[in-house]
Structure 1
Amino acid sequence: MAQDISFNVRNNNGDPVQVSAWRFEGASGGPKVHLQAGVHADEIAGMLVLHRLMQRLAVAEAAGQLKGTVTVVPQANPLGIGQFRQGRILGRFHDATGHNFNRGFDQSAAMEQPSTNVQAWQKQLVHLAAPADVVLDLHTDDEALPYIYVHRSFWPRGRELAAAMKMDVAIIWDDGGDGSFEETIIAPWLREGTTQGRMAATLELRGQGDVNDRFAEQDADGLYAWLCRYGVIDEAMPAAEWPVEVKDMAQMETILAPQPGVLIFEKNLGDVVEQGQRFARILRRPGDPSSEVVLVAEQTGRMVTRYRDRLIPQGAVVAKFTGSQESRNWSGGLLDPN
């Protein structure tokens, strides 16, 4: 039976709120795995995936098939999950401080006495995950194809994970600098040269509206099969076959909204758009045809993400595309700077 290892943090009122976590114990000496979802509290899909996966892990544990330890945190962020304004969850940023919940983990983890509730929560989450050999952080985008975000040190060995999860795209990164959870966890591995036999990745499970039993079952099955292949569960699983488009992060094209207005997409997720071809338009003042701006692709590539709402503010990310060469807008850092 899984051990309850939940812990409490303080919300803005100083009241304790719980981070629910469970540990499935198998044979000693096997791989240590940390799985979590909902660091950005409005990214719900991974919560249901881990909920389903835990049921399978419980069966494997009871049957004596676990060869390692699996820690599962299916809803990692109780600070963000309670933030609602006008009926909508504000889960990416801490409402009181504006802190992006997935930024600054490195600074928080290094603090002897964190000064904010967010920093205290981040420090405890890093402490929980730090002993693991495998760390998978489940996220979702606005509207998106499923894709994996992984440091170059774990590629091409991460291809089997991407295939098991039926990820359409793998984005390979080298330098971050913003203290995301994944970056903070792997920093000592990179510094000490101990990445061999380890794995860390961020799994983007489609879009925020893609929360249903069919996708959750598919993704839970993929994670379970990969854990078997990795040697965490003693069960034979065939290697997955799935075409994964691999791109350096510098080759990704991010298109920002040049003006606010009604957003009309003319291309769908997964479509290949030729360089200079229109894919969307933004109507700033309905009734005024001259206020419409047409958006075109910077280079030929596949549409990986789209803005979910159809009224967009200026400067928001309209879409992201794969490319075949480095983007002229690339300036380093991570895919989403905010």
Structure 2
Amino acid sequence: MIEDVSFSVPGDSGAELRVRAWRIDAGRPGPKVHLQAGVHADEIAGMLVLHELLARLRDAAERGVLHGSVTLVPQANPIGIGQFRQGRILGRHHDATSRNFNRGFPASAAAGGTLDNLSLWQKRLAELAAPADIVLDLHTDDEAVQYVYLHECFWPAGQDLAAALRAELAIIWDGDSDGAFEEVVIAPWLAEQDFAGRLVATVELRGQGDVSDALARQDADGIYRFLGARGVVSDAQPLPEWKGIATPIGFMETVFAPVAGVLVFERELGDWIGAGERIGRIIARPGDAASEHVLRAPQAGMFATRYRDRLIPRGAIAAKLTGSVPSSTWSAGALDP
């Protein structure tokens, strides 16, 4: 059975905005799953993946191979999806308040009384996911390898997700994640110290420009394999061997732009970079050879993410790499601001 579990929230103008969501219930015992995409509304790849996956799961239910239920929210943020400026969507931060759409979820979920529209949207989305045993929040980076972001309590059990998606990297976090969506899901589980059969993860589906039918089918295949490993579907292909890297979040190295200018990368994502090796350069004043600033790897590791545009402002994150020892620049919180 497929049930419409959509909900509405007011937009910035007060007009009603609809968050479309569907729940496919097999009518057979099994895990409860929540899959969503587009919390950051300019991260599109997951929307296409869930568009593809919805039809597959409906078919699985009809064929009697689905166990439990799966809730899908393919485009979770109708507030952000309408924020177009000069032909480009700006869906990471809320225009009216400058708040990051993926921060502050625990506070919004706990709040009572009359809420502003952003907090109300966060509360309703958290309520929709609350009954689930397994929650995947689909995002993309600027440009990146495929990676997953997991709390330490789900590792190494969550390696099945990394393997199913053929992720090249698993970033393992602890403490808090600055109020991201996964934090509001995990909070009651941490209080109970009960993680059996449970998982919440942020899945980074490469970069913002990596949107295609081929990649969507590949990632839908991966999620379907993962659901098979977790007993949600009984006809999935077996998991491949995972050959990626698991790195504590505090070992990740972030390379910031020392100046504004033209950004040129000299190495590719997924490359292994030696300590001190060049990954690129910034030309602050084109035409002036003395204005080139070389970007180097602080320690040996894999080139994991990089800035999407090729004109970068001073202080922006130019690149991120894995490391094998704690980063000298790491403090706490989420990997991204």
TM range (shorter): over 0.9
Q: Residue 211 of structure 1 aligns with which residue? A: 211
Contact 2:304/2:321 (8 A) holds in 1: yes
Q: C-alpha separation between the residues in 1 aligned to 2:242 and 2:172?
A: 18
Bigger drift between 223-232 and 128-137 goes to 223-232
Q: 2:20 is matched with which residue?
A: 20
Q: Measure the CA separation in 2 of the matches of 1:281 and 1:39.
A: 32
Confirm or deny that 1:109 pairs with 2:109: yes
State the partner residue of 1:315: 315
List aligned pairs for 1:1-338, cutoff 5 A.
1-235=1-235, 237-336=237-336, 338=337
Between 24-33 and 165-174, the greater mean CA deviation after superposition: 24-33
1:165-197, CA deviations, whole angstroms, 9 ceiling, x for partnerless residues? 010000001112511000111011011111111
Deviation string, structure 1 residues 120-171 (Cα, Å, up to 9, x no partner): 0000000000010000000000000000000111111111110100100000
Aligned residues between the structures: 337
Shift of 1:64: 2.0
Q: Which moved more, 1:16-25 or 1:288-297?
A: 288-297
**Aligned with 2:282: secondary structure?**
strand
Q: Which moved more, 1:49-58 or 1:272-281?
A: 272-281
SS at match of 1:43: coil
State the distance in 1 between where 2:121 and 2:274 align. Answer: 44
Is the 1:108–1:114 contact (alpha carbons within 8 Å) kept by the matching residues of 2?
no
Distance 1:177 1:320 in 2: 17
Q: Report the Cα distance in structure 2 between the residues aligned to 1:60 and 1:10, rounded to whole angstroms.
A: 35
Asked if structure 1 preserves the Cα contact closer than 8 Å seen for 2:159 and 2:242, the reply is no
Gaps of 5+ in 2: none
Shift of 1:243: 0.5
Runs of 4+ in 1 over 6 A off after TM superposition: none
CA contact (8 A) 2:36 2:76 kept: yes
Counterpart Cα distance in 1 of 2:302 and 2:49: 26
Distance 1:316 1:79, change over 3 A: same
Query: Aligned Cα RMSD in Å?
Result: 1.0
| 3-state SS in 2 of match to 1:164 | helix
CA distance, structure 1, for counterparts of residue 178 and residue 69 of structure 2: 29
Letter in 2 for 1:162: A
Do the aligned residues in 1 keep the contact of 2:224 with 2:236 (CA within 8 Å)? no
The unaligned stretches of length 5 or more in structure 1 are none
* Identity of matched residues, %: 59
CA shift, 1:236, in A, is 5.1
Return the alpha-carbon distance in structure 1 between the equivalents of residues 4 and 270 of structure 2.
41
Whether the 8 Å contact between 1:129 and 1:135 is mirrored in structure 2 is yes
SS of 1:72 mapped into structure 2: strand
